[in-house]
Structure 1
Amino acid sequence: MENSRFWRDPAVPFIEARDVLDGRHVCYARHSHESFSIGAIVSGHSTYLNGRARHRVGQGTVVVMNPGDVHACNPLQDQPWAYRMLYLDTPWLTELQHQMGLGAHQDLRTFATTHSDDPRLFAGLNGLYATLTNADLAPLAKHSATIEFFTLAQQCLDPLPQRAVLAHDKLGRAADFIRANCTGEVTLAEICSVAQLSPSYLIRAFKQQYGLTPHGYLTDCRIQFARAQLRRGRAIAEAALDAGFADQAHLQRVFKQHLAATPGHYRAHSSIR
């Protein structure tokens, strides 16, 4: 049996799922997602890093990652552990919040909670995973179950009153510039010019704000771009070049560091049905 499985379905394109049976073979570098990510530890224990906070999490814990949160989960002293993840498109979740009366006409209201031991949340996530990956269920059932679970998640996690504003507008301009130009050549001089900051201050303050250096943030953006291309069925070599990597081997190495899976494994597992 494969250790890592991805699930996607074009009938419910706003959500993706992953199941890892033994996390000892899945080690991550710090990374982030454009999507809202939420996962359940189904057995064992691991370390969970989110921003500057580090936690020990175990069976029954639900981990929460807002879009852009720099995070990593890794084995604890080579102890076996297993987990499953859900990746939800940010616009979809934002619209659900609007329908619930949370911040109409505003961006996604993020969550201060990085992890929870609420049994309702744990059971609900596992229930949704089972529904999504059930080949005998219609898309309507999967769509309805997704709405039901993420409505529960709003209640359990209590979103912040409003999206946190960047402490430094200049750093925000730097991050926006990197995201917008991540597939091309980006120089430190260009980022500093956009942000109107010196190189030494930019690197220090950017890492403090985002948990990554500007170069690390650029690499992370390229991985997110390549991941989207692979979901659309694009060839790995083409996705690598389109994302700004030197070649397929470069993408292969960095992709595995960030997602603990090869591009080929990720691309091939469009469904586990």
Structure 2
Amino acid sequence: MKNRLSIRKLKNCEHIAGKGLVNLKPHTHKSFTVVYIEKGSLFISLNYAQKLVSSGTVIVLPPNNAISMSAKSEYEYHSLSVHELMCEKLCKYIGNVPFVFMDDGSIADFFRIYDSFTDDDSLTDFIIGIIGEKTAPSAAGLQNVNLVRLAAGFIENHVKDELCVKDVADSLKVSTGYLSRIFKKIMHITPKQYLIQCRLREAKKELEKESSDVEIAYELGFASQSHMCTVFKGYMGISVGDYRDILKNR
């Protein structure tokens, strides 16, 4: 069963309405993401702590926290992904720790009126007003957090290069083992997994430019076109071809 999506964007915000049966491997987001389960139920894992969620559940996922999804029947959901400066604003007011709560109707109403927002600021202010007092910022050690942010930035800046964990560790003058351990502790995925996700984000951008699968795979360091397509579906829940169709029809 395909995951059927519709995508609506502002400058730095993206609303996805999805319906289907999709199981997603553990992955992280650069964005601040809010997911609302409209119908059905599924298992989610937030930083590898599993939880069954059902209709009316809201999942708040700040950047660089791991989530996976597993379901046996069709479900419907909405998600909002907020990027760049607006993402930083949400992290400042809402925090960096993922959490789950039951909607009192305000999140469902928000997704119903999403099209009425014309700018990112008013949209993020609305989100802060709904969920801004439901959690506190992370208490992770600042030194290690900064180290991991530098490592993530290095990976993002070299996403098209041949890159291994040792290259990242050497750039920060730490050991490979230490970096891998701290990175996994804070980001909840390995540096290699993060590199794959960064390449997939770049692949999505190239797909919007209508570049060929072969060109994208070669430019981003995948072993082959089929390897890229397999990885894409494993992380995104839909095939490259289906994603192209969504871009054409949005």
> Alignment partner of 2:130: what SS?
helix
Give how far 1:94 is off. Answer: 4.6
From the superposition, tell whether residues 109 and 115 of structure 1 become closer, same or farther in structure 2 (CA, over 3 Å): closer
Instruction: Name the counterpart of 2:118.
Output: 143
From the superposition, tell whether residues 240 and 17 of structure 1 become closer, same or farther in structure 2 (CA, over 3 Å): farther
Instruction: Name the counterpart of 1:80.
Output: 74
CA contact (8 A) 1:46 1:73 kept: yes
CA contact (8 A) 1:4 1:18 kept: no
Unaligned runs of 5+ in 1: 133-140
Unaligned runs of 5+ in 2: none
In the aligned structure 1, how far is the partner of 2:157 from the partner of 2:110? 33
> Alignment partner of 1:124: what SS?
helix
Instruction: Name the counterpart of 1:20.
Output: 18
Give how far 1:162 is off. Answer: 9.0
Of 219, 226, 235, 1:242 maps to 219
Between 1:207-216 and 1:197-206, the stretch displaced more is: 197-206
In the aligned structure 1, how far is the partner of 2:148 from the partner of 2:111? 38
TM-score (ref. length: structure 2): 0.83
CA contact (8 A) 2:3 2:237 kept: no
Of 29, 33, 38, 2:29 maps to 33
Matches within 5 A, 1:110-189: 110-128=95-113, 131-132=114-115, 141-143=116-118, 149-158=123-132, 160=136, 166-168=142-144, 169-189=146-166
State the aligned residue count. 247
Q: Letter of the aligned partner of 1:74 in structure 2?
A: S
Deviations 1:119-153 (A, max 9, x none): 2333234313xx53xxxxxxxx3426x76553332
Structure 1 runs (4+) deviating above 6 angstroms are 161-165
In the aligned structure 1, how far is the partner of 2:166 from the partner of 2:2? 45
Instruction: Name the counterpart of 2:207.
Output: 230
> Alignment partner of 2:230: what SS?
helix
Instruction: Name the counterpart of 1:136.
Output: none
Instruction: Name the counterpart of 2:41.
Output: 45
Give how far 1:260 is off. Answer: 0.2
In the aligned structure 1, how far is the partner of 2:247 from the partner of 2:8? 5
Cα RMSD, aligned residues only = 3.0
Give how far 1:163 is off. Answer: 10
Instruction: Name the counterpart of 1:213.
Output: 190
Between the two proteins, what is the percent identity of the paired residues? 23
From the superposition, tell whether residues 124 and 113 of structure 1 become closer, same or farther in structure 2 (CA, over 3 Å): farther
> Alignment partner of 2:222: what SS?
coil
